[in-house]
Structure 1
Amino acid sequence: MNAARAVIVVLALSVVAVPVAGHVPSFPTDNTSPDSAVAVPDAAKSWSFYDYIEPGEVAYYRFSLTAGERLRVGTFTPDDGSFAPSVVVMSESFDGTDGVPGRVSVPDGMGAVVVTGERPARAEYEPFAPSATYHTASLDRPVDADAAYLVAVYEPDNRSGEVGVTVGYREEFSPTEYLTVPFDLVQVHLWEGQSPLLVVGPFALTVLAGGVLTRRRWADRSRSLVRGALALGALLVLASGVNTAVQTGVALTKTGPTAGVVVTALYVVVPLACGAWALWVAGRDASVTTTRTRAGLAVAALLSVATWAGFLVGPAVLLAVAVTPTRFVDD
């Protein structure tokens, strides 16, 4: 009973944690003029846009808010140099254009608020990515009337670099956005400037090494195709835990110890535990089709999805085996 309660608690925490603390990632391109500005579909919803600006370039975003909502915009960067992204927020509800850089286009009839970026002393740890970022500018104020906004992101000294733009405050994911986060995180780490080898290498090495060891262990045994698929699905889930652990280490080298790592631990420990257990189930001589084992595989699949493990394929395999007829599973 205690074990069952523990599983329920972990599942609940995994499912709830991401929607209440995450930004929906997006990767804009060709948004260097007001006419080509990124259209933010719901600016009250929390978004993270992973962008890049060339020297002297400006990136634009546009959206609308209604009375009673909040205008919340910010910038961040993974760079540890002097790059300091800044913002100009424009709207017909603002007066004046004092301090707006000449390269920023202000449409007729709009006023502007300028927030010049400042470099923080050290990077801030993001527990759900995990990553280390420098937050340079932010604007947060209530909206008194319905209004349209245009946001310009620039670098005061015309430096180039990766710039992240946050918009909104209501943290929620659609089902599609939630399920595709593992793939988005790969792109986020590449945006940070990491090599592909570091981004996906630990994952690939874990799957390959696990596959070799499993094959050797099964060399003198007969195993069904379904059990082999289960082993692969388990390795995909297990490898996600390893990859997240590596990314946590990379981020902590920039931020130092932080309490946020306790949250990240959930996204390491759960995939490691689920993947290792499912791999053990695939290789043991006992039946895979008992009611308890099937239920365990189903729970492991749900926990893996909740913690973004296995790139959807791993959890899907675990769940598929859980419902596969006995004659196809057991030897």
Structure 2
Amino acid sequence: MHTTRVTIALVALLLLATPALAHVPTFPEGNTTPERAVDVPDAAKSWSFYDRLAPGEVRYYRFSLAAGERLRVGTFTPSASGFTPGFVLMSPAIEGADAVPDGVVVPDGMGATVVPGERPGSPSYEPFGPSANYHTADLDQPVTRDTTYLLAVYEPADRAGQVGVALGYREQFSLVEYLTVPFDLVQTHLWEGQSPVLVYGPWAVTLLGGVALAWRRRATGLARPFARWVGVAALLVVGTGVSAALQMGLALSKTGLTPGALVTAAFVVVPLVGGGWVAWRLRDGLRPTLGTRVGLALVGVTALVTWAGFVVAPAVVLVAAVAPARFLDPRPDDGTTPFGRRAHGTGDRN
């Protein structure tokens, strides 16, 4: 019955999380000339490029769209300063050319449209991440013919800062992109300028706290080496929930409460509930019953869906769901606890 309740709760929360599966995070480098522009393979697909502008610098992106698709592009920044990036859209399909800012190169045969940046009064909450960003420029229009575009991102006052470029509208991931999202999210928070201690701290604190608690209580459920790996995996999953809660709190402190926080809550609660359930069951051992195996499988799958535990942790939990009973049996062969102490009531008697 307990496993059934956990199942219902996790599935309900995942239904809330689904709308947040949006932009594929990418971190370009060296795209400071049209010749070195980032080649976007599918501009209808949702992308988030986390870039940076040095003083007077321009960043370039190249992509193609077919007739009937939509051109959707925007710029954003986590900076609370006056840094206000805009962009120039260039294409053979654009007739005429606006006066472009200094430093922007318009290739021969292309027209240009300037979309200047405008500083919003307050940041917007991004449930995917989560984060608080200032959206400074945006363009959304239908594509009437097959064409190639060149996008140049600039800052009118030549200020330096972190600039993000959102491109596309179809929410989809390749398998590799999906599996690397947990690592990209960490890099995104570092891109925002957060301290590594703040970014990595939730996992470190969770792991150290879990190990200390297991040591103090002499958790007999961790007697088997494989069970210890499952315990570490559970703590990594819990750490992801703690990290999401911390990042949500930081972002909401800048934006104020918003309905988008309900989506982020799924990425907080699912890892906390799932990883916490596994850790709790490990106190006295993961008895290999059908209910336990179903619960482990559910936690592994939901952890993957919510990018908890850096892929490896949910993989370990899924292996535990089908592992032979001897790997989960809490009774060690030598009668000791997981930390090498002789368990109570065991040992040789003279």
CA-to-aligned-CA distance 1:126-160 (integer Å, 9 cap, x gap): 01100000000011110000000000000011111
Contact 1:78/1:162, CA 8 A, preserved across alignment: yes
TM-score after normalising by structure 2: 0.90
Q: 1:5: how far off? A: 6.5
The answer on whether the counterparts of 1:45 and 1:168 sit within 8 Å (CA) in structure 2 is yes
Please tell me whether Structure 1 or Structure 2 has the larger radius of gyration of its CA atoms: 2
Gaps of 5+ in 1: none
Query: In structure 1, which of residues 3, 6, 17 is the aligned counterpart of residue 5 of structure 2?
Result: 3
Give 1:18 deviation, angstroms: 3.9
User: 5+ unaligned residues in a row in structure 2: which ranges?
Assistant: 332-350
Task: Map 1:1-331 onto structure 2 (within 5 A).
Answer: 3=5, 6-7=8-9, 9-10=11-12, 13=15, 16-19=18-21, 22-218=22-218, 223-284=223-284, 288-330=287-329, 331=331
Query: Closer, same or farther in 2 for the Cα pair 1:221/1:262, shift >3 Å?
Result: closer
Distance in 2 (CA, whole Å) between partners of 1:101 and 1:179 is 39
What secondary structure, in the 3-state scheme, does the structure 1 residue paired with 2:84 have? coil
Deviation at 1:224, TM superposition (A): 1.3
Q: Helix, strand or coil for the counterpart of 2:311?
A: helix
Aligned partner letter, 1:217: R
Cα drift, residue 215 of structure 1? 2.0
**C-alpha separation between the residues in 2 aligned to 1:325 and 1:150?**
56
Q: Could you tell which deviates more after superposition, 138-147 or 201-210?
A: 201-210
Tell me how far 1:3 sits from its aligned partner: 2.8
Q: Secondary structure at the match of 1:311?
A: coil
Tell me, in whole angstroms, the C-alpha distance in 2 between the residues paired with 1:143 and 1:13.
Answer: 33
Q: Is the 8 A contact 1:14 1:306 kept in 2?
A: no
Identity value in percent: 56
TM-score, normalisation: structure 1: 0.95
Q: Which amino acid is 1:329 matched to?
A: L
Q: How well do the aligned residues superpose, as a CA RMSD in angstroms?
A: 1.7
CA deviations on 1:151-203 (whole Å, 9 max, x unpaired) are 00000111110000011111111121111111000100000000100111122
Query: Does the aligned pair in 1 maintain the 2:25–2:49 contact within 8 Å?
Result: yes
- CA 1:321/1:302 → structure 2, altered by over 3 Å: closer, same or farther? same
How many angstroms does 1:36 deviate by?
0.2
The count of residues paired between Structure 1 and Structure 2 equals 328
* Aligned mates of 1:321, 1:220 — CA distance in 2: 17
Runs of 4+ in 1 over 2 A off after TM superposition: 1-5, 7-12, 14-19, 219-222
